Structure 1
Amino acid sequence: MKILKFGGTSVGSVENLYKVKDILISDSDQKIVVCSAMSGVTDQLVNLVAYIKLKDAEAITRNLHRLENKHIEVVDSLIEDLELRNNLKDGISSLITEMLELSNQEYTEELNAKVLTFGETLLTYIFSNFLSTIEVENRLIAAKEFMCVDNVDNPNIQKVSKKLNKVLEANEPSGIYITQGFVCRDHLNQLSTLKRGGSDYTATIIGAAVNASEIQIWTDIDGLHNNDPRYVEGTNPIAHLTYNEAAELAYFGAKILHPQTVSPVVDMDIPVLLKNTFDPKAAGTIISNKTYRKGLKAISAKDGITAIKIKSNRMLMAHGYLRRIFEVFDNYHTSIDMITTSEIAISLTIDDTTHIDEIVKEIEGYAEVTVEQNHSIICIVGESVINDKNSHKLFEILNYIPVRMISYGGSNNNISILVETKDKIPTLRFLNERLFLSHQEAVL
Structure 2
Amino acid sequence: MKTKHTVEKIGGTSMSRFSDVLQNIILGQRSPEDLYHRIFVVSAYGGITDLLLEHKKTREPGVYGLFANDDVSWAWGDALNRVAERMIAINAELAPLGLDLMTADRFVRERIEGARSCLLDLTRLCSFGHFQLEEHLMTVREMLSAVGEAHSAFNTVQILQNYGINARLVDLSGWMEECALPIDEKIQSVFSEIDVTQEMPVVTGYTRCKEGLMATFDRGYSEITFSKVACLTGASEAIIHKEFHLSSGDPKLMGPENVAPMGRTSYDVADQLSDLGMEAIHPQAAKGLRQAGIPIRVKNTFEPDHPGTVIDGQYRSKEACVEIIAGRESVLAIEIFDQDRVGYHDREAAVCDVFRRFRMQSIAKNLNANTIIHYVDSSLKRANRLTEALEETFPGAEVTIRKVALIAAIGSNMKVPGFLAKATGALLEAGVNILAVQQSMRQVDMQFIVAEEDYARAAKALHKRLVEDEAHKENAATGAGAMAP
- 1:206 alignment partner AA: V
Candidates 39, 56, 64, aligned match of 1:32: 39
| Aligned counterparts, 1:292-311, within 5 A | 292-293=317-318, 294-311=320-337
Alpha-carbon distance change, 61 to 251 in structure 1, aligned in 2, over 3 angstroms: closer
Counterpart in the other structure of 1:66 = 85
Candidates 115, 126, 135, aligned match of 1:99: 115
Alpha-carbon distance change, 56 to 347 in structure 1, aligned in 2, over 3 angstroms: closer
Do the aligned partners of 1:217 and 1:272 also contact (CA within 8 Å) in 2? yes
Candidates 365, 383, 399, aligned match of 1:369: 399
Q: Distance in 1 between matches of 2:80 and 2:227?
A: 36
- Is 1:43 the counterpart of 2:50? The answer is yes
Alpha-carbon distance change, 358 to 184 in structure 1, aligned in 2, over 3 angstroms: farther
| Aligned counterparts, 1:220-239, within 5 A | 220-221=243-244, 223-233=245-255, 234-239=258-263
| Aligned counterparts, 1:37-436, within 5 A | 37-46=44-53, 47-53=62-68, 54=70, 55-56=74-75, 59-60=78-79, 62-79=81-98, 84-105=100-121, 106=123, 108-144=137-173, 160-171=183-194, 174-187=198-211, 194-221=217-244, 223-233=245-255, 234-289=258-313, 290-293=315-318, 294-352=320-378, 354=382, 355-372=385-402, 374-388=403-417, 390-400=419-429, 401-409=432-440, 411-436=442-467
- 2:335 alignment partner AA: K
Q: Distance in 2 between matches of 1:334 and 1:61?
A: 30
The structure in which a higher percent of residues are helix is 2
Do the aligned partners of 2:150 and 2:173 also contact (CA within 8 Å) in 1? no
Per-residue deviation, 1:122: 0.6
Q: Kindly provide the CA deviation profile for residues 406-429 of structure 1, in whole angstroms up to 9, marking residues without a partner as x.
A: 121254211111122211111111
Do the aligned partners of 2:438 and 2:447 also contact (CA within 8 Å) in 1? yes
Candidates 8, 12, 19, aligned match of 2:12: 8
Alpha-carbon distance change, 394 to 136 in structure 1, aligned in 2, over 3 angstroms: same
TM-score (norm 1): 0.86
Alpha-carbon distance change, 324 to 61 in structure 1, aligned in 2, over 3 angstroms: closer
- 1:200 alignment partner AA: E
Alpha-carbon distance change, 225 to 100 in structure 1, aligned in 2, over 3 angstroms: same
Alpha-carbon distance change, 274 to 212 in structure 1, aligned in 2, over 3 angstroms: same
Alpha-carbon distance change, 327 to 195 in structure 1, aligned in 2, over 3 angstroms: closer
Q: Distance in 2 between matches of 1:163 and 1:273?
A: 26
- 1:10 alignment partner AA: S
Q: Kindly provide the CA deviation profile for residues 335-375 of structure 1, in whole angstroms up to 9, marking residues without a partner as x.
A: 32222222222233222453423433234413222221x22
Alpha-carbon distance change, 194 to 125 in structure 1, aligned in 2, over 3 angstroms: farther
Counterpart in the other structure of 1:437 = 468
Over the aligned positions, Cα root-mean-square deviation in angstroms equals 2.9
Q: Distance in 1 between matches of 2:29 and 2:215?
A: 28
Alpha-carbon distance change, 325 to 68 in structure 1, aligned in 2, over 3 angstroms: closer
Percent identical among aligned pairs is 19
Q: Distance in 2 between matches of 1:238 and 1:190?
A: 31
Q: Kindly provide the CA deviation profile for residues 92-111 of structure 1, in whole angstroms up to 9, marking residues without a partner as x.
A: 33333323323434363212
Alpha-carbon distance change, 326 to 169 in structure 1, aligned in 2, over 3 angstroms: closer
Per-residue deviation, 1:308: 2.0
Do the aligned partners of 2:48 and 2:83 also contact (CA within 8 Å) in 1? no
Q: Kindly provide the CA deviation profile for residues 74-93 of structure 1, in whole angstroms up to 9, marking residues without a partner as x.
A: 3432227xxx5433433333
TM-score (norm 2): 0.79
Q: Distance in 2 between matches of 1:363 and 1:325?
A: 8
Do the aligned partners of 1:408 and 1:416 also contact (CA within 8 Å) in 2? yes
- 1:379 alignment partner AA: A
Per-residue deviation, 1:29: 4.8
1:339 is paired with a residue of what secondary structure?
Answer: strand
Per-residue deviation, 1:389: 5.2
Gaps of 5+ in 2: 54-61, 124-132, 176-180, 476-485
Q: Distance in 2 between matches of 1:335 and 1:433?
A: 31
Q: Kindly provide the CA deviation profile for residues 189-248 of structure 1, in whole angstroms up to 9, marking residues without a partner as x.
A: 698684224423321222122221000000111x31111122221211101110001111
Q: Distance in 2 between matches of 1:329 and 1:215?
A: 35
Equivalent residue pairs, number: 427
Structure 1 window deviating more from structure 2 (64-73 vs 297-306): it is 64-73
Do the aligned partners of 1:305 and 1:350 also contact (CA within 8 Å) in 2? yes
Q: Distance in 1 between matches of 2:283 and 2:265?
A: 15
Do the aligned partners of 1:181 and 1:203 also contact (CA within 8 Å) in 2? yes
Do the aligned partners of 2:422 and 2:465 also contact (CA within 8 Å) in 1? no
Gaps of 5+ in 1: 147-155
Do the aligned partners of 1:200 and 1:258 also contact (CA within 8 Å) in 2? yes
Do the aligned partners of 1:225 and 1:235 also contact (CA within 8 Å) in 2? yes
Per-residue deviation, 1:395: 3.5
2:404 is paired with a residue of what secondary structure?
Answer: strand
Do the aligned partners of 2:183 and 2:207 also contact (CA within 8 Å) in 1? no
